[in-house]
């Protein structure tokens, strides 16, 4: 029966493959059609009337119809929608909202999940992911066993938002998933959606030991916690001794670069496959469709229209955007999205680089608020991830988590960067590690190298090694334990790093 199911599943995936082929061949036309559909659907909403969506004629009109938005500019209207008001950003009453706390703000954000957004963006993105898995995994048999999706939780009984369901986007999608698909997931839905994330991990670790797990999907940070719990309980050397038929780990939310070596220890097999996705509360944007490269295919037909802000425009009051056909390779852009959830020209806060066109592929380089540029060094998360990964390999150590902040100028002193890193196994010579890390950061960022020349503007980075569980305890103190919670890697201020120091 399982083999028959696998054959039928493989055949069904021809549909998402066909859809992907179309937008890969006609990307600009498909994007134009997406925008047209969204604008048409929202003409009679408050926002549609306010900004004259009925006057929309062509894609080039869009930039002049309304200004760029961020969460501050729309949160009042979203709050109205959550209390039951209709036809504000999207037609009708919207009942589902993804709660996103992010890493750059302590305040929660609530993103509408409309029915078209659920079906044509998040669910469709999931089908594209499955197609990519079957295209990249030799003799793929994940459907014959069970898959673990590390999801969050949701609530439908909040007194301030009667009639609205609020929670992690992963939980909202999980809660509405096709009943046939639920049968292939582990554990039971009641456990998967528990609000106590630590308790949930403990239960999954205990109950999955004897399950036939073929795939795990989740944030690498929390997957590591789960795998360690399982290995501690079983006494096994690696995860393939526990789940011998496991084939795929699907990851997203944070860069996988620093986790690649530690995961090879969990899954020591050349045939094991890693697939990256770019899915967020705001939408399902990209999927890695070729495991031999580390970029992702931008999804162009799933209810999202893209604009991009060049890096030199980020800090301007009215930054200029460009459309997909105008992007250049290997340049940092901030993403702007218009979606079928009622987000219009919305600055999502993520930064990407394009690695190729036709088809359009991207890598995530960081967040617009997660960088260090106090001294003109323009250091992004992609830089620090790459430098740290190289240095860890050179010293034979594995990183658990890290964060970096600037050291500001004081009196006659010079500026610099301060790193706090938690290791699986600490380097024997921390000072040598710091020197190598500094050198490797110079190699991947010419601006940092220029500022470090002869220590004229910046001194060598300062390194502090955190004891085991430091980052976990810090995140727990901030109520940031959960499937979608992420450690802030970089900041142009010292708030996070100084808080973290109290736990060392």
Q: Which residues of 228-265 are buried (b: 16+ CB within 10 A; e: fewer)?
A: ebbbeeeeeeebeebbeebbbbbbbbbbbbbbebbbee
Q: pLDDT of the chain along its 504 residues, tens only?
A: 566 777 777 778 888 899 999 999 999 999 999 999 999 999 999 999 999 999 999 999 999 999 999 999 999 999 999 999 999 999 999 999 998 864 444 468 899 999 999 999 999 999 999 999 999 998 899 989 999 999 888 888 888 999 999 999 999 998 888 777 778 899 998 998 898 888 999 999 999 999 999 999 998 888 998 999 999 999 999 999 999 999 999 998 777 887 888 899 999 999 999 999 999 999 999 999 999 999 999 999 999 999 999 988 987 889 999 999 999 999 999 999 999 999 999 999 899 999 999 999 999 988 877 888 888 788 988 899 999 999 999 999 999 999 999 998 776 677 899 999 999 999 999 999 999 999 999 999 988 998 888 887 789 999 999 999 999 999 989 887 776 678 889 988 899 999 999 998
pTM here is 0.84
Q: Which residue has the tokens 């218009």?
A: 338
Those residues with Cβ within 8 angstroms of residue 86's Cβ, 6 or more apart along the chain or in another chain: 92, 93
Tokens standing for residue 494 = 């010292």
Which overall architecture, per CATH, does domain 1-16+51-291 show? 3-Layer(aba) Sandwich (3.40)
Question: What does the alpha-carbon distance between residue 202 and residue 200 come to, in Å, rounded to a whole number?
Answer: 5
| Contact in structure between 231 and 267 (CB atoms under 8 Å) | no
Q: 480: burial class by Cβ within 10 Å (0-12, 13-18, 19+)?
A: middle
Residue 456 phi/psi, 5-degree rounding, is -70, -45
Tokens standing for residue 306 = 């893209």
Question: What does the alpha-carbon distance between residue 328 and residue 141 come to, in Å, rounded to a whole number?
Answer: 39
| Contact in structure between 152 and 309 (CB atoms under 8 Å) | no
CATH superfamily, region 371-501: ANL, C-terminal domain (3.30.300.30)
Among the listed residues 64, 116, 62, the one whose alpha carbon sits nearest the alpha carbon of residue 89: 116
Among the listed residues 322, 332, 421, the one whose alpha carbon sits nearest the alpha carbon of residue 373: 332
User: Hey, which residues does 170 pair with through a beta bridge?
Assistant: none
Identical fold for domains 1-16+51-291 and 371-501, yes or no, is no
Domain ranges (residues) in the chain? 1-16+51-291, 371-501
């Amino acid at each position: 029966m399982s083999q028959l199911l696998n054959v039928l599943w493989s055949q069904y995936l021809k549909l998402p493959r066909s859809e992907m082929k179309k937008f890969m061949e006609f990307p600009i036309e498909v994007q134009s059609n997406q925008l047209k559909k969204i604008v048409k659907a929202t003409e009679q909403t408050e926002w549609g009337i306010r900004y004259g969506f009925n006057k929309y004629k062509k894609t080039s009109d869009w930039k002049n119809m309304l200004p760029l938005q961020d969460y501050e500019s729309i949160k009042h209207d979203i709050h109205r929608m959550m209390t039951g008001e209709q036809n504000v950003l999207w037609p009708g009453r919207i009942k589902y909202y993804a709660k996103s706390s992010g890493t750059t703000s302590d305040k929660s954000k609530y993103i509408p999940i409309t029915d078209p957004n659920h079906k044509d963006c998040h669910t469709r993105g999931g089908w594209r992911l499955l197609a990519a898995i079957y295209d990249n995994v030799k003799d793929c048999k994940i459907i014959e066993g069970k898959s673990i999706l590390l999801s969050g939780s949701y609530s439908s009984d909040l007194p301030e938002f009667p009639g609205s369901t609020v929670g992690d986007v992963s939980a909202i999608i999980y809660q509405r998933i096709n009943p046939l698909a639920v049968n292939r997931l582990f554990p039971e839905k009641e456990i998967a959606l528990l609000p106590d994330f630590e308790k949930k991990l403990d239960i999954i670790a205990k109950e999955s030991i004897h399950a036939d797990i073929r795939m795990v999907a989740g944030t690498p940070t929390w997957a590591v916690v789960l795998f360690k719990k399982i290995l501690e309980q079983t006494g096994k050397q690696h995860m393939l001794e526990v789940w011998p038929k496991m084939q795929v780990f699907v990851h997203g939310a944070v860069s996988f670069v620093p986790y690649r070596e530690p995961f090879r220890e969990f899954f020591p097999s050349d045939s094991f496959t890693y697939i990256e996705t770019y899915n967020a509360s705001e939408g399902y944007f990209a999927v890695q469709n070729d495991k031999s490269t580390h970029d992702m295919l931008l999804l162009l037909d799933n209810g999202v229209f893209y604009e991009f802000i060049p890096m030199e425009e980020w800090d301007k009051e009215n930054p200029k955007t460009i459309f997909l056909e105008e992007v250049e390779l290997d340049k940092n852009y901030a993403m702007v999205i218009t979606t079928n959830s009622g987000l219009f020209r919305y600055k999502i806060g993520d930064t990407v680089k394009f690695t190729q066109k036709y088809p359009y592929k991207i890598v995530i380089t960081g967040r617009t608020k997660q960088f260090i540029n106090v001294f003109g060094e323009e250091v992004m998360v992609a830089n620090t991830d790459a430098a740290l990964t190289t240095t860890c390999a050179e010293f034979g150590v594995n990183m658990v988590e890290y964060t970096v902040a600037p050291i500001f100028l004081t009196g006659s002193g010079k500026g610099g960067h301060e790193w706090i890193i938690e290791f699986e196994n600490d380097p024997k010579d921390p000072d040598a590690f710091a020197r190598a890390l500094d050198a490797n950061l110079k190699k991947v960022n010419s601006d940092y190298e220029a500022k470090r020349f002869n220590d004229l503007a910046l001194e060598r980075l300062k390194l502090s090694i955190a004891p085991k569980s430091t980052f976990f305890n810090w995140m727990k103190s901030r109520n940031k334990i959960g499937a979608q919670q992420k450690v802030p890697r970089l900041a142009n201020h010292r708030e996070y790093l100084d808080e973290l120091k109290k736990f060392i």
